[in-house]
Structure 1
Amino acid sequence: MSASTNARRGLTLADAAREFWRHPSPWLFVIALTAAVVARIMIGDWQIGDAVVPFAIAAAFPFLEWTIHVFVLHWRPRRLGRVTLDPLLARKHREHHIAPRDVDLVFIPLQSAIGAVVAAVAIALVLFPRTGMGLTFLVVMLTCGVAYEWCHYLVHTDYKPKTVVYRVIWRDHRLHHFKNEHYWFGVTTPGTADRVMRTYPDPATMPASPTAKNLHAMGDTKSAGAVRR
């Protein structure tokens, strides 16, 4: 099918999915998730605690997402003697704000994704009272990882919202990128932690930020009530 035909009919989910699976981090999460599901089934030992884990993660994940976005992704480079503290995730996220339509910058950097999977495995095997319960945690967290990569990627494509939930995700994340980077930090969980942390204003009351595409630039003036980092 020609590019002009593609443009006329608009980007479909199938079109978006084909591009999504060309990138390594979704494959990493899916392979790890598949291994975790197999291990969870083999271990067995299903108990009531396994049913509680998904609900606990659902309650905590919006705040985890908010915290990572504010304090890790929006980390402001700091000098410690002769060393500049500027993690890979923060550097890549600044590049992502500069070029939000660059699909290669949308995904979690592979090194960081590997680190996240290793950390989740360590937590699952060390911090839970039962191996089965830890593997339940791992399955749910890796599912969240796949969902995060897909939602974040899709928002930065030309795919148009067709459901109420996705329309909210699409709207809020684009406000973060194109209106004011000091608000709307939820990606897959828009409005949840943001409302609690007071970073979910009425867009009509917020001025456009001059640094939405250039994080931490000189002359960065935050609006009243913006998150201090």
Structure 2
Amino acid sequence: MTLKELVVAYFQYPAIIAYLLLAVVGIGLWTWRPAPLLQTAASIGIAVLIYPLAWYSLHRWVLHSKWMWKHKWLAGTWKRIHYDHHQDPNHLEILFGALHTTLPTIVIATAPLGYLIGGFGGAAIATATGLLTTCFYEFCHCIQHLAYKPKNKLILMMKQRHMAHHFHDETGNFGITNYFWDRLFGTLYDRVSERSKSPTVFNLGYTPEVAETYPYVADLSGGVATGHPVERLRAKMKG
């Protein structure tokens, strides 16, 4: 895949179009009731700074939690937003988060801080910044999962770390573009040789044994798939 093909594929996803349109709305609201320049800059800055921490926290303690599958009313959400993604990391239809889960998260992470700094205008521009930052994250996420090898060494390093998270040990490398919080909390690893391969890298701990007690995700998935996704695909094709 070329960079041009990746960009074309990226902009075909409705979620990206929605983020961009809503960012324009946010900028429009700021234009209508702008915060002073200093507060505007501070609102943008805090949104950019808080985003990596918000993502790390959400990714580690919510998406990789072991409590969502225990509740019938949360199991479907957990399955859609992360379990399915780890079951088959290269399944592009579920690469992007569902808007009904991502949009509230973006607003909650950015708007209140923006409002505290610059009132209505600060909240609007902080939310718009969060939406545009999400677009950047999702573009990098595309690079990490699609058959494209980046030439930039930094982006290549990001891809290698994220692929290790999906195919070697899911208990580390929670960042997408920023690994400061991984480093701070001791979850960063650069080489797969630093850790043993996790037996739950594809199921996030939702094993057939767990499904016997908490069957909600299994019921929605038609069972619990085990093994490497490529091996499962080959077995399915042979069968």
TM-score range, shorter chain: 0.7 to 0.9
Shift of 1:43: 2.5
Q: Secondary structure at the match of 1:180?
A: coil
1:61 aligns with 2:48: no
Q: Partner of 2:33 in structure 1? A: 43
Q: Partners in 1 of 2:152 and 2:103 — Cα distance?
A: 32
Q: Partner of 1:144 in structure 2? A: 133
Q: Partner of 1:167 in structure 2? A: 156
Specify which of 185, 190, 193 is matched with residue 197 of structure 1: 185
Q: Partners in 2 of 1:90 and 1:188 — Cα distance?
A: 24
Using the aligned pairs only, state the percent identity. 24
Q: Provide Cα deviations, 1:102-148, integer angstroms capped at 9, x if missing partner.
A: 10111011322343466468637865552222222122111111112
Cα 1:89–1:46 shift into 2, 3 Å = farther
Q: Secondary structure at the match of 1:186?
A: coil
Cα 1:125–1:173 shift into 2, 3 Å = closer
Q: Kindly provide the amino acid, as one letter, of the partner of residue 182 in structure 2.
A: D
Specify which of 205, 213, 217 is matched with residue 216 of structure 1: 205
Q: Partner of 1:27 in structure 2? A: 17
Query: Could you tell me the TM-score, scaled by structure 1's length?
Result: 0.79
Q: Partners in 1 of 2:3 and 2:132 — Cα distance?
A: 19
Q: Partner of 1:227 in structure 2? A: none
- Structure 2, unmatched stretches of 5+, are 210-239
Q: Kindly provide the amino acid, as one letter, of the partner of residue 64 in structure 1.
A: A
Q: Partner of 2:81 in structure 1? A: 92
Shift of 1:86: 2.5
CA contact (8 A) 2:40 2:125 kept: yes
Q: Partners in 2 of 1:24 and 1:154 — Cα distance?
A: 18
- Structure 1, unmatched stretches of 5+, are 1-10, 221-229
The structure in which a higher percent of residues are helix is 2
- RMSD of aligned residue pairs (Cα, Å): 2.6
Query: Could you tell me the TM-score, scaled by structure 2's length?
Result: 0.76
Q: Partners in 2 of 1:125 and 1:178 — Cα distance?
A: 37
Q: Kindly provide the amino acid, as one letter, of the partner of residue 54 in structure 2.
A: L
Q: Partners in 2 of 1:39 and 1:216 — Cα distance?
A: 44
Cα 1:196–1:87 shift into 2, 3 Å = farther
